[in-house]
Amino acid sequence: MSGIIAFFRASPPKAGAAFDEHRFRRVRWQTFIAMTLAYVTFYVCRLSFTVAKSALVELGITPTELGMIGSTLFFSYAIGKLVNGFIADHANVVRYMSLGLLLSAGMNLMMGMTTNALLLAIFWGINGWAQSMGVGPCAVSLARWYGVKERGTFYGIWSTAHNIGEAVTYMVIAAVIAGFGWQMGYLSTAALGAAGVVLLVLFMHDSPQSSGFPSINVIRDEPQEEVEARGSVFKTSCWRCATRRCGPSPSPPPLCTSTATPSTHGGSSFWSRIKLIPPWRRPGLSASTLSPASPGPSSPACSPTAFSRATAA
């Protein structure tokens, strides 16, 4: 156990020669680009189930089961962010993020090998935990490599990985599923995740100190005392922060209301894939009720016999 902890612990400082600004910028860009592209693949591994749902419905999985399977990711992701965010502060972010992406890719591979709702829920829940191992290391890496005055800019650039990941999923993975089947969609997703792991291992660096540079607050002339003073709000109790810092301000009500945004976004993106596909493209499914429709001459019922034939194929 101690060996595993030591493996994932943040890399120790490495003695280096005189500070080389050109080399520092090159290593930092390598880290940033690798981290951003890898997080794109994280998002693809998170959304693959969304574009595979319509095919799974045709194989006999009910909308209720789809909702239960999908919810396992959100619950495990929420809990995992609390745990893995804390761990990331003390971890080698390259190894920790790589482990999460590798696990996520593996769960996508397993998702393509079964149509059992219980197994799908287990695999997707594990994927949610693996997904929570991505955002924490990215935030820590940004803090390690960028000073206070430039961190927001690069965070904004990095955050586009979410949208790029969605675009890749809804365009590329959906096209693969339409052309080659839902199993190939999961396989393609797993392959992208594996490629992201390779990027992290080859090009991402844990911290400036582990690469032979001083810490970022020294490079950017931000003394540690000043950094700690700016971050002292995190040492304030939640109650004091709520009553003294946020209480007199009119901002909290709109901020609290804005927490509904993820629910709206998640719900619409999770179900729109089925609701917006024309019913004639979804054999055995009614567009208005998301329940199995009466079999017609051109819509074979999802009977157990048809289900077994589909899974055997």
The predicted pLDDT at position 207 comes to 93
Secondary structure (DSSP) of 63-111 = HHHHHHHHHHHHHHHHHHHHHHHHHHTTB-HHHHHHHHHHHHHHHHHHH
* 152 domain-assigned: yes
Q: Are residues 95 and 187 in the same domain?
A: yes
Percent of the chain whose predicted confidence (pLDDT) is above 70: 70
The residue that leads in pLDDT, 12 or 80, is: 80
The residue that leads in pLDDT, 115 or 297, is: 115
* 267 domain-assigned: no
Nearest to 59 by CA among 295, 296, 282, 286: 282
Nearest to 35 by CA among 130, 84, 101, 126: 101
The predicted pLDDT at position 138 comes to 96
Amino acid at 43: Y
Q: Render pLDDT for 17-33 as a digit per residue (tens, 0 to 9).
A: 678 889 999 999 999 99
Range of the domain at 312: 278-313
Q: Are residues 237 and 120 in the same domain?
A: yes
* 3 domain-assigned: no
Alpha-carbon distances of 165 from 50, 105, 170, 226, rounded to whole Å:
13, 14, 9, 37
Confidence category of residue 228, pLDDT binned at 50, 70, 90: very low
Q: Are residues 116 and 227 in the same domain?
A: yes
How many folded domains does the chain comprise? 2
**Range 214-236 average pLDDT:** 62
Q: Render pLDDT for 26-73 as a digit per residue (tens, 0 to 9).
A: 999 999 999 999 999 999 999 999 999 888 888 888 888 999 999 999
Q: Render pLDDT for 256-265 as a digit per residue (tens, 0 to 9).
A: 665 655 555 5
Q: Are residues 114 and 206 in the same domain?
A: yes
Confidence category of residue 4, pLDDT binned at 50, 70, 90: confident
Residue 9 host element (H or E): none
pLDDT at 290 over 50: no
Q: What average pLDDT is seen over the chain?
A: 80
Residue pair 227/143 in contact by the 8 Å Cβ criterion = no
Confidence category of residue 301, pLDDT binned at 50, 70, 90: very low
Q: Are residues 138 and 186 in the same domain?
A: yes
**Range 103-119 average pLDDT:** 96
Q: Are residues 242 and 286 in the same domain?
A: no
Nearest to 189 by CA among 105, 101, 98, 77: 105
Secondary structure (DSSP) of 150-164 = HHHHHHHHHTHHHHH
Q: Are residues 28 and 74 in the same domain?
A: yes
CATH number of 128's domain: 1.20.1250.20
* 257 domain-assigned: no
Q: Are residues 302 and 206 in the same domain?
A: no
The predicted pLDDT at position 112 comes to 94
Residue 210 to residue 199: CA distance in whole angstroms: 18
Q: Give the end of a domain, one of 191, 223, 246.
A: 246
* 14 domain-assigned: no
Q: Are residues 237 and 291 in the same domain?
A: no
Residue 106 to residue 110: CA distance in whole angstroms: 6
Q: Give the end of a domain, one of 202, 231, 246.
A: 246
Question: SS3 sequence, 206-264?
Answer: CCCHHHCCCCHHHHCCCCHHHHHHHCHHHHCCHHHHHHHHHCCCCCHHHHHHCCHHHHH
Residue 277 DSSP one-character state = S
Q: Give the end of a domain, one of 206, 223, 246.
A: 246
Q: Are residues 311 and 240 in the same domain?
A: no
**Taking the CB of residue 90, how many other CB atoms lie within 10 A of it?**
12
Q: Are residues 218 and 284 in the same domain?
A: no
**Range 293-299 average pLDDT:** 41
SS3 (DSSP) at 292: strand
Percent of the chain whose predicted confidence (pLDDT) is above 90: 55
Residue pair 187/112 in contact by the 8 Å Cβ criterion = yes
* 264 domain-assigned: no
Residue pair 282/299 in contact by the 8 Å Cβ criterion = no
